[in-house]
């Protein structure tokens, strides 16, 4: 029988994406075996990160500074906004070094099934930003999933009155595909060949 602390550790680890109860037990055991080399540094890193990292008030990216390093970077083109579902998608775009504009992180997608409506997403700030007159193109880079497409169409409707050109990532993004799983070349092609939404 495991101690309460071990049970709690396994339970929390089991809530991480991709970890079932069995992998959670394996990870917990691994951490306990590598207490000095891994468990303690990890617990410090977790607590530091939870204290220092916050969402950027302009774009929703995660960083230790607000505005984030991308929003604060004057060499980037602030008139080009790439709308992504999550910070992971922003990371995917940045990994490929293919985009020199700024981002807007929605924090998810519209989903009737999960009860996620427009108010649950970072959409009002996007409408305000695009309406400010400083934006010349909005690239909607939500995933090619059903919810991603639904969200893209909703954004097209919401942003239409502002008369700013909207584009969508083009071919190369497979149906059902998520940005984070694409290789950098495919993502670069999809960005270059983006089409009007």
User: Would you tell me which residues interact with Zn ion (CB under 5 A)?
Assistant: 56, 58-59, 61, 67-68, 71
Q: State in angstroms the smallest separation of the CB of 58 from Zn ion.
A: 4
Q: State in angstroms the smallest separation of the CB of 134 from Zn ion.
A: 14
Q: What whole-number distance in Å separates Cα of residue 71 and Cα of residue 158? A: 23
Contacts of 24 (CB under 8 A, 6+ apart): 10, 11, 13, 14, 16
* Structure tokens belonging to residue 58: 């302009």
* Structure tokens belonging to residue 91: 């990371």
Length of the chain: 197
Complex with Zn ion: residue 61 or 189, whichever CB lies closer? 61
Identify the bridge partners of residue 111 per DSSP, sorted by sequence position. 116
For residues 58, 63, 66, 67, the Cα torsion angle rounded to the nearest 10 degrees is -50
Q: What is the CA radius of gyration of the chain?
A: 20
Complex with Zn ion: residue 67 or 96, whichever CB lies closer? 67
> In the chain, how many H helices and how many E strands?
8, 7
Q: State in angstroms the smallest separation of the CB of 69 from Zn ion.
A: 8
At CA 109, angle to CA 49 and CA 16, rounded to 5? 40
Complex with Zn ion: residue 88 or 117, whichever CB lies closer? 88
């Amino acid at each position: 029988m495991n101690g309460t602390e071990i049970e709690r550790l396994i339970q929390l680890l089991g809530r991480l994406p991709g970890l079932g109860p069995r992998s959670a037990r394996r990870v917990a055991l691994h951490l306990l075996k590598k207490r000095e080399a891994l468990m303690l540094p990890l617990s410090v890193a977790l607590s530091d990160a939870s204290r220092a990292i916050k969402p950027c008030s302009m774009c929703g990216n995660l960083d230790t500074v607000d505005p984030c390093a991308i929003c604060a970077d004057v060499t980037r083109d602030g008139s080009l906004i790439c709308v992504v579902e999550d910070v992971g998608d922003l990371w995917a775009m940045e990994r490929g070094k293919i985009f020199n504009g700024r981002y807007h992180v929605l924090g998810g997608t519209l989903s009737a099934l999960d009860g996620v409506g427009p108010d649950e997403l970072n959409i009002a700030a996007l409408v305000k930003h695009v309406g400010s007159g400083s934006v010349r193109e909005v690239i909607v880079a939500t995933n090619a999933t059903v919810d991603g497409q639904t969200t893209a169409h909703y954004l097209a409707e919401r942003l239409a009155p502002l008369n700013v050109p909207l584009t969508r990532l083009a071919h190369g993004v497979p149906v059902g595909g998520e940005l984070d799983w694409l290789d950098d070349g495919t993502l670069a092609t999809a960005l270059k060949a983006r089409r009007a939404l």
